[in-house]
Structure 1
């Protein structure tokens, strides 16, 4: 073997040995074995984001104690964090609702139960305790406007994180439906309802806000009371009464107008939140019915209020 060949082989062996030493010594001392292994794994694997299948529930209503059965691929759809039904509603849904109306008319002891679903990551901007109830209430209004009696509709809300929207944040049919049959001899439910509605009359919902403000912030208890008032309106056929009150500062006639403006503002808020306008009556008492002394600013603030109850 010539000297030149031996020289070249020596260089090659030196490079190979240097590479091996660099790999073991650098990875174990300079950057750490675990870090090197992690970098190797990162280069070998690519994280694929989880793709959730879009939920598309059918508009399905069946009566286990009767002969009504409806199953349509279409349904009422909503945007996430919203309770307004997306338009247009399929004509198939309209036809199905008419069939349901005819069935309920011939079976007055039956009610349709609507449960609206909502996800835990949605924002509830409705006047109801949760978006599920708000969505169920919107569907109820659709049924009522198409001839179904509100007395034959029950609404509920349920948390359901298994429902998934599409890429445009549309929830397809976040609802379930059922048909219930009442016992004509059992009056306990109606008696309990009347007791609950009497309690609302004795302890109505009282709101304090500035006339013309952008929105009304409700507590959880106030949201529940609106749901209870709405339930009484649906089941007993009563009206929601919205009455505006003022303190005694200024002109009495102008205060009556101001009280009416407060009542109308609250009515507008309620109608935007799914209460049918035909079920709301407004009026103003102005400064005529104070609940405390107007001699102090605190007392006047308490008297500036809007009261929501039922007749």
Structure 2
């Protein structure tokens, strides 16, 4: 073998070895890292710097009874815009079919209960009347189940903070929910007793909303939001009705104040409906200026008399 041939073979072997080592220790690592990150993040480049963009969260419509033989997993779910609690219209036929299957299971197993947990993130704004946006979302889903024939008495709703949720580019959350099936212990009355106590507390200390003259705006405190959640639960579990009564001060004509009181009651009713309490469960009326709770000769007293009282019976 000539020196020239030997030299060329050496170059060829060097190229082959270099290519192998590059693939083994560089490209292999890059490929492995890329695969490991595929389902977690996507990378974009801004001004030559890597910015991590989290992948959109997509949760399935899934149930499993750990103490029974029912399970369901559907690649669709209920979806929500960010900071909103109204269901988007894109509820698939598969989800509705799954609800019917679940209804049949609950109907034949009277100790089973459906638990719906709605999630929300700390970056969202709670525009609902409930203590948190997750509970409002769970309540909206509950109402859809009710529309499909599932009894509200069989459904428990909860809200939970979950900052792992990631919306898509249009700020839509896909299935920010968790579903579970629990089994009630026969003869255990603790939950029922607690519920009755909560409902009696509403009757003894109703939700009171205050208004300025000629105004019908609602701004809720933390305590008032919790009362709305408790009222909703009493309606669902006890079959009671929400009573909304409008009151006014004695400014102006008494007959006109009856109308104003009714307007306030109707406004409060519509507000409750927008927040997931079904219309058929709400009754409104007006007392006008006939039942003051404070002195109408003072501005402070008039302010207290301009109110709408929300209770249950």
Asked if Structure 1 and Structure 2 have the same fold, meaning a TM-score greater than 0.5 normalized by the shorter chain, the answer is yes
Distance 2:74 2:163 in 1: 23
The aligned counterpart of 2:112 is 110
Residue in structure 2 matched with residue 290 of structure 1 by the alignment: 292
Residue 162 of structure 2, aligned match among 160, 163, 166: 160
Compared with structure 1, are the counterparts of its residues 186 and 120 closer, same or farther at alpha carbon in structure 2 (3 Å cutoff)? same
1:301 paired residue number:
303
Q: CA deviation at 1:266?
A: 0.6
Q: Could you tell me how far apart the structure 1 residues matched to 2:71 and 2:213 are?
A: 49
The 5-angstrom pairing of residues 208-247 of structure 1 reads 208-210=210-212, 215-247=217-249
1 or 2, which has the higher strand percentage? 2
Q: Distance in 2 between matches of 1:189 and 1:255?
A: 42
Which residue, 253, 262, 268 being the options, matches 1:260?
262
**SS of alignment partner, residue 143 of structure 2:** helix
Superposed displacement of residue 46, structure 1: 2.4
SS of residue in 2 equivalent to 1:140: helix
Q: Deviations over 1:152-174 (max 9, x none)?
A: 00000000000101111110000
- Is the Cα–Cα contact under 8 Å of residues 216 and 264 in structure 2 kept in the other structure? no
CA contact (8 A) 1:211 1:262 kept: no
2:72 counterpart residue number: 70
Distance in 2 between residues matched to 1:66 and 1:226, nearest whole Å:
34
Would the alpha carbon gap of residues 213 and 171 (structure 1) be closer, same or farther in structure 2, given more than 3 Å must change? farther
Give, in whole Å, the separation in 2 of the partners of 1:61 and 1:128: 25
Shift of 1:179: 0.5
Residue 213 to residue 161, structure 1, CA distance change in 2 (3 Å): farther
Counterparts of 1:263 and 1:170 in 2: how far apart (Å)? 34
| Contact kept? 2:214, 2:260, Cα under 8 Å | no
How many aligned residue pairs are there?
Answer: 267
Question: Paired residue for 1:20?
Answer: none
State TM-score, norm by structure 1: 0.83
Give the drift of 1:269. Answer: 1.0
Q: Superposition pairs for residues 95-174 of structure 1, below 5 Å?
A: 95-174=97-176
1:198 Cα deviation from its structure 2 partner: 0.3
Deviation at 1:103, TM superposition (A): 1.2
SS in 1 for 2:187: coil
Question: For 1:194, what is the secondary structure of its paired residue?
Answer: helix
User: Is 2:197 aligned against 1:195?
Assistant: yes
Deviations along 1:70-118, whole A, 9 cap, x unmatched?
1100000001111111113101111011111111111222110000000
Distance (Å, rounded) in 2 between the aligned partners of 1:265 and 1:125: 17
The SS at the match of 2:115 is strand
Instruction: Give 1:196 deviation, angstroms.
Output: 1.1
Alpha-carbon deviation of 1:220? 1.1
SS of residue matched to 1:48 = strand
CA-CA distance at 1:250 after TM superposition: 2.6
Structure number with bigger Rg:
1
Contact map agreement 2:82 2:167 (CA 8 A) in 1: yes
Quote the offset at 1:67 in angstroms: 1.3
For residues 272-303 of structure 1, the C-alpha deviation after alignment (integer angstroms, 9 at most, x for no partner) is: 11211111111111112111121212111110
Partner SS state of residue 50, structure 1: strand
Deviations 1:112-171 (A, max 9, x none): 000000000001111011110000000000001110100000000000000101111110
Three-state SS of the structure 2 residue aligned to 1:242 is strand
Distance 1:214 1:73, change over 3 A: farther
Contact 1:211 1:261 in 2 (8 A): no
